[in-house]
Amino acid sequence: MKIGITCYPSIGGSGVIATELGILMAERGHEVHFITSNMPFRLNKPIPNITFHQVDVNQYAVFQYPPYDISLSTKIANVINEYDLDVLHMHYAIPHAICGILARQMSGKDIKIMTTLHGTDITVLGYDHALRNAIKFGIEQSDVVTSVSQSLKEETYDIIKPNKDIVPIYNFVRESEFPTGYQPELKTSYGIAEDEKVIIHVSNFRKVKRIDTIIDTFKLIRQEMKSKLLLIGDGPELLDMREKVRELQLQDDVLFLGKQDCVSNFYQISDLVLLMSEKESFGLTLLEAMTTGVVPIGTYAGGIKEVIKHGETGYLVDIGDSQHAAEYAIKLLSNPQLYKQMQQRMLTDVQQRFHSSIIADQYEDQYRQMIGESNDA
Ligand code: GMT
Ligand 1 atom nearest residue 208's Cα: 23
Is the pLDDT confidence value at 169 over 90? yes
CATH topology of domain 175-354: Rossmann fold (3.40.50)
Over the stretch 31-69, which tens digit does the pLDDT of each residue have? 999 999 999 888 878 899 999 999 998 888 888 888 999
**Helix axes 98-107 and 68-83, enclosed angle (nearest 10):** 50
Mean pLDDT score across all residues of the chain:
95
Over the stretch 82-100, which tens digit does the pLDDT of each residue have? 999 999 999 999 999 999 9
Ligand 1 atom nearest residue 284's Cα: 16
Ligand 1 atom nearest residue 171's Cα: 14
What are the CA-CA distances from residue 237 to residues 206, 242, 244, 252 (Å)? Answer: 6, 9, 11, 20
pLDDT band at 184 (very low <50, low <70, confident <90, very high): confident
Residue of 16, 281, 299 to mutate, ligand 1, most atoms within 8 A of C-beta: 281
CB-defined site of ligand 1, < 6 Å = 12-14, 17, 118-120, 123, 148, 171, 204, 206, 208, 279-284
CATH topology of domain 2-172+355-371: Rossmann fold (3.40.50)
What is the residue extent of each domain of the chain? 2-172+355-371, 175-354
Q: What is the spatial distance between Cα 254 and Cα 276, in angstroms, rounded to a whole number?
A: 17
pLDDT at 86: 97
Q: Give the closest residue to 257 by CA, choosing from 223, 228, 220.
A: 228
Task: Determine the Cα angle at 170 with ends 164 and 173, to 5°.
Answer: 145
pLDDT band at 11 (very low <50, low <70, confident <90, very high): low
The answer to whether the Cα torsion of 47, 48, 54, 55 is positive or negative is: negative
Range 362-371 average pLDDT: 97
* Intrachain domains 2-172+355-371 and 175-354 with the same fold: yes
Over the stretch 298-308, which tens digit does the pLDDT of each residue have? 999 999 999 99
Range 227-235 average pLDDT: 97
pTM of the model: 0.95
Percent of the chain with pLDDT over 70: 99
| Ligand 1, atom 9: closest residue by C-alpha | 13
